[in-house]
Structure 1
Amino acid sequence: MASLAEPKPAREADAFSPSHWSERISPEALEHIPGDAGLPIIGNTFRMLADPHGYARYMAETYGPVYKSRAFGMWNVMLIGADANELLLFDRDKIFSSEQGWGPVLDNLFPRGLMLMDFDHHRADRRALSIAFKPEPMRHYAGSLNRGIAETVKHWGGSEMRFYPAIKQLTLDLAAESFIGIPWGPEADHINRAFVDMVQASVAPIRRPLPFTAMKRGVDGRAFLVDYFTRETHRRRAEGGGQDMFSQFATATREDGGLLPVDEVVDHMNFLMMAAHDTITSSATSLVYLLAKHPAWQEKLRQEVVAVTGGPDASGNPRLLDYGDLGKLELTEMAFKEALRFIPPVPSLPRRALKSFEFGGYEIPAGTPCGINIHLVHHSEEHWPDPERFDPMRFTPDLVKERHKYAWVPFGGGAHMCLGLHFAYMQVKILMAQLLQRYSMEIEEGYEPKWQPWPIPKPRDGLK
């Protein structure tokens, strides 16, 4: 896709300046933008759900890098390309609201999480929460991840398995220990069940908590976790925090030295658990699938892991990956980055324009729900020659330097860059160190799992 001219800044005066995501912009305000209203009432909802990537590709090829579409009862304007990614993510003019963009999907279940904050409030809380990702707590998490992954992975071999449900359960269990600081067991299972219910409710078609619906289970799960994390925040503040992530959040302070309000700690913890376990489950599954499909690359990573760890010990048990050696797994990191390009765990990102702006030759008014399509840009031939080929060498320093900075954005960018991205790299490297020292990962010849592409990709059959 052709690079677009530098976008013009937002205008200060606008006829419609929304204060909440539920305030709708009129269709007349978007008449000048090309696009498709779809069918009466339902719009393009089912067409989009049936094949999100194919639909986005068709719309971009038909209407260009700026187009509108009506789905889920509202109009949305998509901005396609690396320049669009930069405009929306870097957001130098503070045009876009993340809170109002994510609100329709997450407001009932994960309100006031870090991703749903804007501007100064977001900056202050992000700075306070960043203490949980400093070297000392990260070293503690590495120890927990090493022990938990090693103990679980040793039981995986010997026969055909479905990888996705196995890694999903492992990431939930790891989150209980590393994030909350509680041992695996009944309490962790109850917490994990509540999180699973909340995540499923976030994409449920029925958006009200009616009896026996996914939304009702999700709202009930949130109530349980709010009560649990509220009690635990008070207890950990009284007794002194530990090294787990929740204790770090509970005792985090803002620039003025004051503790975060308890309800904000609770909301941040709820959101972090959701964001961390589902995205890492998706991306680890993508990497394992691609390495099984490309055994030559799998062997290159295995050799790197053995060179760094020393390989299995005299008893045949894989050695643990030291925290100080994480940076030495350069090829493993490049392969993970290529997996994130191939199947980004968050295929698209929503925002809402708080001020009008110009992009791609179109004036987009304040109040417009906007979005970028990460998956489409990650598969654009403009930035990725032969984009359907798996090639970790795309991420050598020289090639990264030559490429548009916003052509690869699996962790977002700008002020909302994923706070836990280094934790994600660490968890995947420790997982690969255990898997590659112990097993060969294989799939049957010709096997191509069908992926559920949205909202977070996963193989429909669990990945055999």
Structure 2
Amino acid sequence: MAYASTFKANAHWLPRNPARMLDHVPGTDGMPVFGTTLAQLANPFAFTRQMVERYGPVYRINSFGGRTVQLLGPEANELVLFDRDKVFSSEQGWGPMLNLLFPRGLMLMDFDKHRAHRKTLSVAFKPAPMRHYAEHLNHGIAARLPQWAGREIRFYAEIKKLTLDLAATSFLGIPLGPEADRINTAFVDMVQATIGVVRFPLPFTAMRRGVAGRAFLLDYFGRQIPARRQGTGEDMFSQLCRAEHEDGRLLSDDEIFDHLNFLMMAAHDTITSSLTSMAWLLSRHPDWQERLRTEIRDLGINGDSLPHDRIDEMVLTEQAMKETMRLMPPVPSLPRRAIRAFSFGGYDFPAGTFVGVSAAYTHHMAEIWPEPDRFDPMRFTPEAARTRHKYAWVPFGGGAHMCLGLHFAYLQAKIFLFHLLKDYRIEPIGTAPIEWQVWPIPRPRGGLPVRIVPLSG
């Protein structure tokens, strides 16, 4: 069987290169069979630091079934992500990991096809829909936070439930109802499968669970498409069902599902990760928590909602969000594949080379970020940002593949922090360091126990 993630099933992909074609690049092939995969998964940050100390910022590894080269630093990010000469394929970079789970999502498209689909999907992020989403976000967050008040919670689990519910009301236009837990499990299984050591859906593997999760969601969403095409809903799902290609054709059922499935995952899991990271940092930096609370109070907003047209006034909050994503980027690394030969860092690379760039490594380079492990939102004042390389901070990627939903991410995060900080204080439970599973999307082991304390209490 030729699975969708294999070269056999994708005749338009370049064939695999012989491994020896990268022998001239310093690096290691790691263990027999597993290569460097297990070492990377165990501690990605430490693994990358060790490799840089030994080989420098350009090196090769053997992970997830084949050799790849890592190109680290802002110049590498610019080369690969901005991709001036259209050398680097996102489809062929992500495809071996994602094609069984998120095929034909926007991230798995290249060049003209990607541009056309991105233009079609952009209708869901224009000002009118964003105002619509803001109303639902304000309502959903304001209703949920009192349920957390005055008690210890596992923040990651609670915010994950909330962001899924918010994605459903904003993107689907309906509450999830009794199937919410099954939908959440399906998304979790798909994301975890992306880093499964076994890359095929064999029984009892993470990939099998991920593929089953996709099948469940395909049935769940697919049943709703005909009615959405005929309706007038403002939610993202309805807009996708009525969206047209540049030639006037409606998106097919498969295209609607693939785009919705990918966007739901991104709006659910990456925002969950970033809000969890921010809760972690604010709970340990009460001075910054109070500074953001002051900014929120100084808005002078009457009522319980943050209006869409006041979002941009939360300047200090946005700086704190950016610093959070510097310390813990929601997508720590980005794969690509060169479809033509290229050179970088004194090395020549053949067409077909798998390439990885790392936001997580770049965001902790001491020569760019003094005291890189320190939480300091003032790094993102306009004056400080002006002096840095444009690609020194890349939590949303860059170039043509810059995250389409980044403004939605800011919208949701600011509305959440508005409601949280104006009425509550977030406190850590205990003093033990929090350990994180970094790949594929960061999440705290143990769920991040915190206490949500009403300010009036």
Q: TM-score range by the shorter chain?
A: over 0.9
Q: How many residues align?
A: 440
Contact 2:60/2:70 (8 A) holds in 1:
yes
Give how far 1:177 is off: 0.9
Distance in 2 separating the partners of 1:116 and 1:248:
21
Displacement of 1:21: 5.7
Question: Which residue number in structure 2 is paired with residue 286 of structure 1?
Answer: 277
Aligned-residue offset at 1:126? 0.1
> Does residue 338 of structure 1 match 2:323?
yes
The answer to whether residue 67 in structure 2 is matched with residue 80 in structure 1 is: no
Deviation per residue, 1:293-345 (Å, 9 max, x gap): 1110000000111121547x6xxxxx211111101101000000000001001
Q: Which moved more, 1:406-415 or 1:438-447?
A: 438-447
Matches within 5 A, 1:391-430: 391-430=376-415
1:210 CA drift (Å): 2.8
Correspondent of 2:200 among 193, 205, 208: 208
CA distance in 2 between counterparts of 1:180 and 1:143 reads 14
Q: Which residue of 1 aligns with 2:94?
A: 102
Give the aligned partner of residue 3 of structure 2.
none
Paired letter, 2:121: L
* Separation in structure 2 between the aligned mates of residue 73 and residue 445 of structure 1, nearest angstrom: 41
Q: 1:254 to 1:206 in 2, by over 3 A?
A: same
After TM superposition, give the deviation of residue 407 of structure 1 in Å.
0.2
In structure 2, the residue corresponding to 1:363 is in which secondary structure? strand
Q: Take 1:83 and 1:295, find their aligned partners in 2: how far apart are those partners?
A: 36
Structure 1 counterpart of 2:337: 352
What is the rounded CA distance, in whole Å, between the counterparts of 1:67 and 1:218 in structure 2? 31
Q: 5+ unaligned residues in a row in structure 1: which ranges?
A: 1-17, 314-318
1:273 maps to 2:264: yes
Deviations 1:94-130 (A, max 9, x none): 1111111111211111100000000010000000000
Structure 1 residue runs of 4 or more that deviate by more than 4 Å after TM superposition:
18-22
Report deviation, 1:215: 2.4
Are the aligned partners of 1:167 and 1:281 in contact in 2 as well (CA < 8 Å)? yes
Asked if 2 retains the 8 angstrom alpha-carbon contact of 1:103 and 1:116, the reply is: yes
In 1: Cα distance, 2:224 partner to 2:306 partner? 32
Q: For residue 282 of structure 1, what is the amino acid of its counterpart?
A: S
User: Is contact 2:14-2:339 (8 Å) kept?
Assistant: no
Matched, 1:119 2:111: yes
- CA-based RMSD of the aligned residues comes to 1.6
Q: Give 1:36's aligned residue.
A: 28
Distance 1:404 1:391 in 2: 18
In the alignment, the residues of structure 1 paired with residue 109 and residue 368 of structure 2 have an alpha-carbon distance, to the nearest angstrom, of 31
Check if 1:390 corresponds to 2:382. Answer: no
Which deviates more from structure 2 when the two are superposed, residues 203-212 or residues 270-279? 203-212
Q: Which residue of 2 aligns with 1:3?
A: none
Question: Which amino acid is 2:64 matched to?
Answer: F
Tell me which moved more, 407-416 or 251-260: 251-260
Amino acid aligned to 1:74: G
Unaligned runs of 5+ in 2: 1-9, 450-457
Task: State TM-score, norm by structure 2.
Answer: 0.93
| 2:426 alignment partner, one of 428, 436, 441 | 441
Q: Report the AA paired with residue 423 of structure 2.
A: R
Task: Classify the secondary structure of the residue corresponding to 1:111.
Answer: coil
1:258 match: 249
**Residue 184 of structure 1: how far off its partner (Å):** 3.8
| 1:303 maps to 2:288 | no
**1:133 matched to 2:118:** no
**CA apart distance, 1:173:** 1.0
Aligned to 1:147: 139
Matched, 1:463 2:455: no
**Distance verdict in 2 for CA 1:258–1:217, change over 3 Å:** same
Deviation at 1:51, TM superposition (A): 1.2
Q: 1:366 aligns with which of 328, 342, 351?
A: 351
Structure 2 contact 160–268 (Cα < 8 Å) conserved: yes
CA–CA distance in 1 between the matches of 2:18 and 2:208?
Answer: 31
Question: Matched residues in 1 for 2:205 and 2:170: separation?
Answer: 31
Counterpart of 1:224? 216
Q: Which stretch shows the higher mean deviation, 199-208 or 398-407?
A: 199-208
Checking the alignment, whether the CA contact within 8 Å between 2:334 and 2:358 is kept in structure 1 is yes
**What CA distance in whole angstroms lies between the structure 2 residues aligned with 1:392 and 1:266?**
38
Change (3 A) 1:232 1:22: farther
Confirm or deny: 8 A CA contact 2:233 2:239 kept in the other structure: yes
More displaced, 395-404 or 36-45?
36-45
Tell me the SS of whatever aligns to 1:155: helix
Of stretches 107-116 and 255-264 in structure 1, the one that deviates more from structure 2 is: 255-264
Q: Residue type matched to 2:417 in 1?
A: M
Contact in 2 for aligned 1:309/1:320 (Cα 8 Å) = no
2:53 to 45, 54, 61: 61
The 8 Å contact of residues 194 and 440 in structure 2, kept in 1 or not, is answered as no
Secondary structure of the 2:426 match is coil
